[in-house]
Structure 1
Amino acid sequence: MTLSPRSRRFALLGAAGFAAVALAVSPSLVAVADENTPVLRVEYESGTVDSGVAGLGVNECCGYSIDTTTLSRNGIGAVKHEVRYGDSAADGPRAESHTETIEATHFDSGDSVYYGFSVYIPSTWVFDETSEDIVFQWHNYKDSCDFKDRGPSAFLSVHTNGQWRLRYNSDSAACSTETSVVKQAQDLGAVKPGQWNDFVFKFDWSEGADGRIQVWHQTSKALGWVKVADRQGANTYNDVPTTIGYLKWGIYKPAWRTAPSNVSTRAVFHDNIAVGSTFTAVNPEGGPRGS
């Protein structure tokens, strides 16, 4: 991936040094030997919720919140996240995995990064006409002067209209306020429960006009990548160099913070989460060990 001056601090070990550290820690977090090698791939082939990746974190409240499953995109494993009305983890109704402490996955303005993952919506899914369900987030810390509920740089949700919806936020101001954040959204196509959805996102992260988001999508029942979005413009925040962004996947139901909705349980499945510098590096279709 292309690193900004802020994020380049994580690459100072060099490829050889990083490889020695990463491979000693985790088989799924590897140095970038070439552009088609991801810096992170989470495949859940180990049968554990951390997928054998050192530092992979979870937000869970209960024994059912996060578990591995054999309902996989390919290979033998995937992860299931489940949240029920009344659950609370990390101050909200969520069950999520995250890369908060995995430096290789952190992003900042100026970075150009590809992200890939597969997500499965069960065939029993009932669309909630009152509130969306967030299944992937490009989350951020905040500067000390930013207002409390600034929101992540971007997230993917199952929207109330039955569409995949990408929402993204930006602010060129050094200190974000409730009125300075620009919120945008784009639908990416109809959600089709009962099949795996493969996504590849490329973010050119920027709080300015040079930012860009490109999105490709296919399903396991209709292979063939389709470019479903190409948006130019700001897509993140003007933060200080020590304020990082990281990834979260699972299920988050923000409306349940204040009231119930027409569903009481949500469960989704994820597989093949990857971060890298090319489409090939993060392609979730390739699956575990190129299968």
Structure 2
Amino acid sequence: MSGIPVHRWKFIFLLGSIFSLASAQDLGVIWTDPQMTALASTYDLLFSATWADGIGAGIGVQANPGNIAVVDDPLVAGRKAIRVHMSKAEDFSKIANGVPRAELIFPKAVSFSQGPDYLVRWSTFIPAGFAFDTKQALIITQVHQGEWTGGPTIALSLQGNRYAVSERGGGDARIVSAGKWLCCADADEGKWVNWALRYVADDSGHHASTQLWKDGHSVFASQGVANAYMGVQDAYLKMGLYKAGWTTSPSDVTDITLFFGPVSVSKK
């Protein structure tokens, strides 16, 4: 975050508040760091989904009917993917908090407690011609903070033609403890992008560690910074589209479509 003015971090709109700052669709990742290849092999798999058999019964859905569907992979014949779509004109009043969203909630079997070392892998596909919104953010993956209200513990977002990652923890849900802009999302149109998150949660920050890889390249890392809310032992994974200010604030887009590939969560 060095060199980035504080006002540049007011880029993610969540729960009615602006944040204020204090290639192949594959479950595997081709790591650029050989040591990470060895490390990844030490985790035990907790959960995985390739969508070949649809959305499993243990996965929750927060979306209007038809907004989330299993479809053919847009690139690879014989594979399946999750297509997520939202329109600004929809009625979101019957969805959680009435906030514009179309998200999958992953089972409590893969919830994140403080202390263990987790490795989450997933993939995203931005279709060609995707309309990027320069006026407000779109969260596409998050570690949700259990029963706490406020911003997600970890969030991967799109704003304009960039990705952004943000991290929160400790006792103040309003404060982003770490974050970074990632260039350039528009270069990823029409191809699968593989993500990997290593997450060791700690509300004090003393033993906290967060690392994010994009297509095997390290793009974000923080250590010694609170990355869990006080006492939370049941944070959980969400993927899809979340755009809190869409119907109440200026936006460049009226429709959004994104695809998600395989997901896995491992622990050691």
The TM-score normalised by the length of structure 2 is 0.75
- Flag the 1:240–1:106 CA change in 2: closer, same or farther, 3 A: closer
Cα offsets for 1:172-218 (capped at 9, x unmatched): x3xx465xx44431123311211111001101111223211111112
Q: Is contact 1:73–1:118 with CA below 8 Å preserved after alignment? A: no
Moved over 4 A (4+): 34-37, 72-75
Matched, 1:216 2:213: yes
User: Any idea what SS the aligned residue of 1:247 has?
Assistant: strand
The structure whose RCO (Cα within 8 Å, separation 6+) is larger is: 2
Matched, 1:120 2:125: yes
Please list every run of 5 or more consecutive structure 2 residues that lacks an aligned counterpart in the other structure.
1-40
Q: Tell me what 1:250 maps to.
A: 240
Partner Cα distance (2:208, 2:52) in 1: 35
The correspondence of residues 125-140 of structure 1 with structure 2, limited to 5 A, is 125-140=130-145
Cα offsets for 1:43-89 (capped at 9, x unmatched): 1111x2x1xx33111011132x0111112576510100111103312
How many corresponding residue pairs?
A: 219
Q: Is contact 1:109–1:237 with CA below 8 Å preserved after alignment? A: no
Q: Is contact 2:142–2:237 with CA below 8 Å preserved after alignment? A: yes
**Amino acid corresponding to residue 85 of structure 1 in structure 2:** K
Query: Aligned match of 2:52 in 35, 45, 52?
Result: 45
User: Any idea what SS the aligned residue of 1:255 has?
Assistant: coil
- Flag the 1:277–1:121 CA change in 2: closer, same or farther, 3 A: same
Query: Aligned match of 1:206 in 202, 208, 220?
Result: 202
Partner Cα distance (1:203, 1:73) in 2: 30
Q: Tell me what 1:79 maps to.
A: 82
Partner Cα distance (1:188, 1:38) in 2: 28
User: Any idea what SS the aligned residue of 1:201 has?
Assistant: strand
Q: Is contact 2:135–2:159 with CA below 8 Å preserved after alignment? A: no
Q: CA deviation at 1:35?
A: 4.6
Q: Is contact 1:69–1:79 with CA below 8 Å preserved after alignment? A: yes
Q: CA deviation at 1:132?
A: 1.2
Q: Tell me what 2:114 maps to.
A: 109
Q: CA deviation at 1:36?
A: 4.9
Partner Cα distance (1:129, 1:228) in 2: 22
Partner Cα distance (2:71, 2:152) in 1: 28
* CA RMSD between the two structures: 2.1
Partner Cα distance (1:124, 1:245) in 2: 34
Q: Tell me what 2:61 maps to.
A: 58
Partner Cα distance (1:177, 1:204) in 2: 18
Q: Tell me what 1:23 maps to.
A: none
Please list every run of 5 or more consecutive structure 1 residues that lacks an aligned counterpart in the other structure.
1-33, 219-224, 279-291
- Flag the 1:226–1:239 CA change in 2: closer, same or farther, 3 A: same
Amino-acid identity (%): 25
Partner Cα distance (2:126, 2:192) in 1: 7
Q: Is contact 2:113–2:232 with CA below 8 Å preserved after alignment? A: no
Partner Cα distance (1:82, 1:183) in 2: 31
- Flag the 1:70–1:93 CA change in 2: closer, same or farther, 3 A: same
User: Any idea what SS the aligned residue of 2:249 has?
Assistant: coil
Higher-Rg structure is 1
Partner Cα distance (1:177, 1:95) in 2: 23
Q: Is contact 1:35–1:276 with CA below 8 Å preserved after alignment? A: no
The correspondence of residues 92-171 of structure 1 with structure 2, limited to 5 A, is 92-99=99-106, 102-142=107-147, 148=149, 150-160=150-160, 162-171=161-170
- Flag the 1:190–1:105 CA change in 2: closer, same or farther, 3 A: same
The TM-score normalised by the length of structure 1 is 0.69
Q: CA deviation at 1:240?
A: 5.2
**Amino acid corresponding to residue 246 of structure 1 in structure 2:** Y
